[in-house]
Amino acid sequence: MRPCRPCRPIRPCRPIRPCRPTRPCRARRERPRPGTRPSEHALKIRILGTAAGGGLPQWNCGCAGCATARRTGAARSQDCLAVSADGAAWYLVNASPDLRSQLLATPELAPPPGTRDTPLRGVLLTSGELDHTLGLVTLREAAELTVHATAPVRAALHEAFPVGPLLAPYTKARWHTVVPGEPVELAGGLVAEALALGGKRPRYAADLAALPAGEGAGEPAGGRTDWVIGYRFTEAGGRARAVYAPGLAAWTPAVDRAVADADVVILDGTFATDDELAERTGGARGSRGMGHLAVADSLPHLAGRPGPRYLYTHLNNTNPLAHPGSPEATALAPALAAAGAAVAEDGMLLDL
Ligand code: MLT
Ligand code: MN
Ligand code: ZN
């Protein structure tokens, strides 16, 4: 809705500096001694949602887990995150279908009283999947909207699911192409570097033709590897590092390097075991084939890389870990704890 006269933007949302590759921030800097870390310029992460597509409970599912979630109210909204380096300029990572209620539940993302000056400076997408992009239309009231996505995801969101053209009459949207390995400098001292994680297209984009001419065009032999990405976040001072990878098909050497010196790693916890969904539905597809490395298969890697705090997110409603107290979750708990891992919860605030 167009704002009425008294509530027109008091001052326009601050445009972020144009995205350009920055110096890589890989160099490990000296960590401040405990108690000496300044409160500004450290990463703040608010986990907005922790469920896979459909959420928990899923509207059309009466399985034991969904029934318990309905009864107890222990619900999970769909995977989404907010991140900031200075506590003032915030970025969404993905835009879930539950975005409106997630934004309203997050005090950091509220406009200061009497203004329309949202702390949201943009959205970074990890994929073009509907559970990561449907929320973009929820942001149409913004005076302007900056969206960062890889070339194939940008193409998908302009052609197969044309949210780009759809938003154009509502808000001034700016689209930026994310290139894995090229850090992007964002507002408030936040730096995001994408990590190519896989070539799984959203189902709606299965038939999308070769990408249009321009930046990042083309489909190399063997397919693109940037349909699904993760992000490694640092702040300009290099004091805090976080990795976010809600869709992780395989544990590659690149993933191993990205988590090596991270403070926190928020990763794919869609399924507990590779055959979980097949067992529940009688289907044949394993979780890996769906682009999700099961918890049982990533845990050994976590155990071999001690140091970061690991948090599993994007939990499917079939995953027993989404149901605390279930016999399977109780059985898995010691292995998770031994690896420094836990299940992420909606609303968690991480102050790194
Ligand atoms: C996924 O994470 O694999 C997708 O979101 C599944 C889907 O919703 O189709
Ligand atoms: Mn998903
Ligand atoms: Zn269910």
Judged against a pLDDT cut of 90, whether residue 37 lies above it is answered with no
Over residues 167-193, the pLDDT tens digits come to 999 999 999 999 999 999 999 999 999
The residue contributing the CA closest to ligand 1 atom 7 is 53
**To the nearest whole percent, how much of the chain has pLDDT over 90?**
78
More confident: 24 or 78: 78
Centre of ligand 1 to C-alpha 202, Å, is 7
Q: Which ligand sits nearest to residue 280's alpha carbon?
A: 3
Judged against a pLDDT cut of 50, whether residue 26 lies above it is answered with no
| Residue 78 binned pLDDT confidence (cut-offs 50, 70, 90) | very high
The three-point CA angle 173-11-132 to 5° equals 30
Ligand 1 atom nearest the C-alpha of 292 is 3
In order of 37, 41, 211, 221, 247, the CA distances from 266 in angstroms are 23, 20, 30, 31, 10
Residue 232: the pLDDT is 98
Judged against a pLDDT cut of 80, whether residue 220 lies above it is answered with no
Judged against a pLDDT cut of 60, whether residue 214 lies above it is answered with no
Centre of ligand 3 to C-alpha 280, Å, is 10
Ligand 1 atom nearest the C-alpha of 132 is 5
In order of 100, 206, 223, 306, the CA distances from 137 in angstroms are 10, 22, 29, 40
Judged against a pLDDT cut of 90, whether residue 215 lies above it is answered with no
Centre of ligand 3 to C-alpha 1, Å, is 35
Over residues 227-243, the pLDDT tens digits come to 999 999 999 888 899 99
Q: What is the mean pLDDT of residues 264-291?
A: 93
Judged against a pLDDT cut of 50, whether residue 23 lies above it is answered with no
Over residues 115-154, the pLDDT tens digits come to 989 999 999 999 999 999 999 999 999 999 999 999 999 9
Residue 76: the pLDDT is 98
| Residue 51 binned pLDDT confidence (cut-offs 50, 70, 90) | very high
Ligand 1 atom nearest the C-alpha of 131 is 5
Centre of ligand 1 to C-alpha 268, Å, is 12
Rounded Cα gap, residues 50 and 150, in angstroms: 23
Question: Are residues 200 and 247 in contact, defined by beta-carbon separation less than 8 angstroms?
Answer: yes
Question: Are residues 174 and 201 in contact, defined by beta-carbon separation less than 8 angstroms?
Answer: no
Mutation probe of ligand 1 site: the residue of 94, 130, 133, 313 with most atoms within 8 A of C-beta: 130
Ligand 1 atom nearest the C-alpha of 203 is 9
Tokens 């693109």 -> residue? 224
Minimum mean pLDDT range among 61-75, 115-129, 256-270: 61-75
Residue 148: the pLDDT is 98
Minimum mean pLDDT range among 9-13, 144-148, 192-196: 9-13
Judged against a pLDDT cut of 60, whether residue 32 lies above it is answered with no
Mutation probe of ligand 1 site: the residue of 80, 129, 130, 161 with most atoms within 8 A of C-beta: 129
More confident: 18 or 229: 229
Minimum mean pLDDT range among 35-39, 54-58, 93-97, 320-324: 35-39
Among 38-47, 152-161, 284-293, name the most confident range. Answer: 152-161
Structure tokens at 155: 């193409």
Centre of ligand 3 to C-alpha 263, Å, is 33
